[in-house]
Structure 1
Amino acid sequence: MIANFTLDNDIQSSFIQRRLKSQERREMQREILSILGLPQRPRPLLHERHTAAPMYMLDLYNAILEERDQRSGYVESYEPVYTTPGPPMVSQQDSRFLNDADMVMSFVNMVEADDDLRLYHQHRREFRFDLSRIPPRETVTAAEFRIYKDFVHERYENETFGVSVFQVLQQKPKRELYLLESRVVWAAEEGWLVFDLTDTSNQWVINPGQNLGLQISLESARGENVNPRRVGLVGKSGPQNKQPFMVAFLKAPGVHYRGVRSASGNKQKGHNRSKNHKAGSAPSQVALKTAMEGASVDPKQGCKKHELYVSFRDLGWQDWIIAPEGYAAYYCEGECVFPLNSYMNATNHAIVQTLVHFINPETVPKPCCAPTQLHGISVLYFDDSSNVILKKYRNMVVRACGCH
């Protein structure tokens, strides 16, 4: 079932299930894709979820959930499809990058000179990543190249090596390189080596023709060239969960992630104002209050939040959405009639509108029950090029309802 409502009538529930499996199901798919900013559903050629890039992106996704729960104490009803094995791949710096981004994209290596030109390239590795999928309005706020280094058990074990990452500026007629970063590593070292590509990535996005890729070279402590494979650097022929990849943190202009302010603050102001004017109430106000005495609404009928779950799996999207399987969207429904009790979270305007409606219901309608607090969700998915994207979507989940 696409959407599960909390209903008292089983017949109503089964009707919704049948209805959403026909034309309404296609309409829902189209509308949700529009909300996600996608012209059509992606159809990735490969959707292997246990390679290095998807696992890193899933760790980012989990970091968003953990940070949100720690900040708000609010635990959502959806969980990741699976968790990654081993220690998390996300560093504290990545978490800071994530807080300032509205989208994260990972890219797998397009070209690595390895076997074809093995003799000529035995002391270096080349990588190139297609950044053409980055949306035009997005700015790269941070970018990293990640390559895994295995533990070396051979004769290099107690040695150190210099690892240098270059931007390729020109291939022909003469190869030109620009040094981006160098560092020293132990042969016995194991784990992900992370190199900053922020400035370079922005250059490539602005001028795609300049994207000639990266080159990695290694030297021994004695200044000799060393084959990266002998030192433990994992290339495209290595295990899937250790494949090199690039990640870019992106942000569109003017996008800020702040919570939607509740109407409760306005409600408190309205309460103080009524206290200040209580002693000077006009006779008409007293009469109105007297006329309304005894008016009430059943709390079960009042404005409140109700269950509504949207299942991406039931929409048939499990082949391209990695996480979540769905999300609890909720919806607001109920009466907004006098007296607007505290649990109705009414705005000052709604209070006045309710009073006027009570006097003349044909002139002014009752206030509406609507969300007063919303928060976003994060969706992890493959695009058509099998890149993995993590995107934040605002105002997708109802946190609280009130009368407006």
Structure 2
Amino acid sequence: MGSCRCKSLNDVLQSKDPEGFSGTSEQDLVEEEDMDSRLQSFLGNMKEGFLRKLNLSDVPQDHSKIYPPPFMIELYNKYAFDKSAMPRSDVIRIFTVQDVSHSAKNGTKSKHRLLFNVTVPNHEEVTMAELRLFTLLDNSVTSTTNGIGASINVYEVEYKGNKVTAHLVNGKEVIGANHSWEAFDVTTAIQSWVKSGREASEFEVVVDRKREAKKELREEIVYEEETLFSGSDWQGPDFNEIPVDLHHRWKRQGDTSYCRRTSMRVKFKDIGWDQWIVAPPEYDAFECRGVCYYPLNDDMTPSKHTLIQTLVNFKNPKKANMACCVPTKLAPITVMYQENGVITVRHMYEEMKVAECGCR
């Protein structure tokens, strides 16, 4: 993301034979291979660090198209673009229903037993969990002016030997005339599942229709969790959109080569990371370009060492290199990714874009 004055491989002198073909020395080839090797090593280390921060042991091998549910996309867009939106936790995961182990209907009542497989990394703590049910109205039934009414209760299912018990977790009265998502707080139950080490657990959803029938329930569970090592303060500004500071940025008039922040669009597909990163498909990471001329202005936030180095370079260029134009402040972005089929939104994924450039 930073730049310095360096010799490019294209600047290496090449000799030409009488036929006009370029000749490359053995030393040049060795240097080029060494540079390629170092580049591959750097990219490999960067990918490992990226995966480690996302709690991924390796790149997911599932190449099928990922279709996150609409409310998860809305959640991502909210935290990525709404500066006033501050989530309670920096990681949000969604676990879909693994199986509907039992479903029964008796008059106006219906029961649905939903199986979930909830796994949480050991260093993370569940702070809030919701069971989200999508109610799909039957359009063939004429609705009343007051909408459709139903009571929905969520029970936690426990197995003790041959005995099955159900404990009420949450419930609500639902009245509406349109399809909608209904959310139920199941934090205590999920925390108990995680603490006991149970991966496969069940909820039983009981629907009692008050007037007209609800045709279908689509069930998904989403919970928020907090990484124990995170110290992010989300009361500060959102850096997904960083304005270019114009009134504080001093430049020599007509000199566009001075150190500055410029656009650098990154497409995850181009670097092979679209296999697990769902959104954004691309973003502006920015980069620092230009030269750190003498004298350095305060806007470049030079260190004392940089000032001394620049002065020595100005007096004797052979004695010291010119200071480099590099990122001095990085900012986070919001990413949505999948890990083993689990869709995850990370609100503050740090150090993903350049916020400010300076001379160092």
TM over 0.5: yes
Is contact 1:204–1:210 with CA below 8 Å preserved after alignment?
yes
Residue of structure 1 in register with 2:343 after alignment: 388
Decide whether aligned partners of structure 1 residues 46 and 54 sit closer, same or farther in structure 2, where only a CA change above 3 A counts: farther
Is contact 1:168–1:178 with CA below 8 Å preserved after alignment?
yes
Is contact 1:302–1:344 with CA below 8 Å preserved after alignment?
no
Residue of structure 2 in register with 1:329 after alignment: 285
Partner Cα distance (2:199, 2:75) in 1: 29
1:108 aligns with 2:63: no
User: Which moves more between the two structures, 249-258 or 365-374?
Assistant: 365-374
Question: 1:25-77 CA distances to partner (integer Å, 9 max, x unpaired)?
Answer: 7963662353242332112375341xxx4322221221123214xx6xxxxxx
1:180 aligns with 2:169: yes
Structure with greater proportional helix content: 1
Amino acid at match of 2:192: Q
Residue of structure 2 in register with 1:146 after alignment: 132
Is contact 2:101–2:115 with CA below 8 Å preserved after alignment?
no
Partner Cα distance (2:210, 2:253) in 1: 81
SS of alignment partner, residue 35 of structure 1:
helix
Question: 1:321-380 CA distances to partner (integer Å, 9 max, x unpaired)?
Answer: 322222222222443342112453434664455456657878876544321222112222
Residue of structure 2 in register with 1:191 after alignment: 180
In the alignment, which of 88, 99, 113 is matched to residue 126 of structure 1?
Answer: 113
Residue of structure 1 in register with 2:28 after alignment: none
In the alignment, which of 48, 59, 69 is matched to residue 54 of structure 1?
Answer: 69
Partner Cα distance (2:143, 2:261) in 1: 63
Residue of structure 2 in register with 1:287 after alignment: none
Is contact 1:29–1:315 with CA below 8 Å preserved after alignment?
no
Question: 1:254-281 CA distances to partner (integer Å, 9 max, x unpaired)?
Answer: 41335799xxxxxx9xxxxxxxxxxxxx
Is contact 1:146–1:195 with CA below 8 Å preserved after alignment?
yes
SS of alignment partner, residue 117 of structure 2:
coil
Question: 1:80-104 CA distances to partner (integer Å, 9 max, x unpaired)?
Answer: xxxxxxxxxxxxxxx55xx232221
In the alignment, which of 31, 52, 56 is matched to residue 46 of structure 2?
Answer: 31
Decide whether aligned partners of structure 1 residues 161 and 367 sit closer, same or farther in structure 2, where only a CA change above 3 A counts: same
Question: 1:169-206 CA distances to partner (integer Å, 9 max, x unpaired)?
Answer: 22642211221111112374531111112222222222
Partner Cα distance (1:189, 1:302) in 2: 58
Is contact 1:156–1:187 with CA below 8 Å preserved after alignment?
no
Residue of structure 1 in register with 2:333 after alignment: 377
Question: 1:286-319 CA distances to partner (integer Å, 9 max, x unpaired)?
Answer: xxxxxxxxxx999444322244333211123434
TM superposition shift of 1:218: 2.4
Residue of structure 2 in register with 1:88 after alignment: none
- Provide the alpha-carbon RMSD of the alignment: 4.1
Partner Cα distance (1:314, 1:177) in 2: 50
Partner Cα distance (2:196, 2:292) in 1: 56
Is contact 1:169–1:210 with CA below 8 Å preserved after alignment?
no
Partner Cα distance (2:349, 2:132) in 1: 27
Amino acid at match of 2:122: P
1:253 aligns with 2:271: no
Partner Cα distance (1:64, 1:130) in 2: 26
Query: How many residues in Structure 1 have an aligned counterpart in Structure 2?
Result: 309
Partner Cα distance (2:176, 2:90) in 1: 37
Q: Which runs of 5+ in 2 are unaligned?
A: 4-8, 11-32, 240-247
Residue of structure 1 in register with 2:24 after alignment: none
Amino acid at match of 2:90: D
In the alignment, which of 190, 195, 198 is matched to residue 209 of structure 1?
Answer: 198
Partner Cα distance (2:215, 2:203) in 1: 18
Partner Cα distance (2:182, 2:98) in 1: 19
Is contact 2:262–2:287 with CA below 8 Å preserved after alignment?
yes
Structure with greater proportional strand content: 2
Is contact 1:150–1:190 with CA below 8 Å preserved after alignment?
yes
SS of alignment partner, residue 189 of structure 2:
helix
Partner Cα distance (2:325, 2:176) in 1: 64
SS of alignment partner, residue 394 of structure 1:
strand
Residue of structure 2 in register with 1:67 after alignment: 82
Give the structure-1-normalised TM-score. Answer: 0.63
Amino acid at match of 2:112: R
Amino acid at match of 1:198: T
Give the structure-2-normalised TM-score. Answer: 0.70
Residue of structure 1 in register with 2:58 after alignment: 40
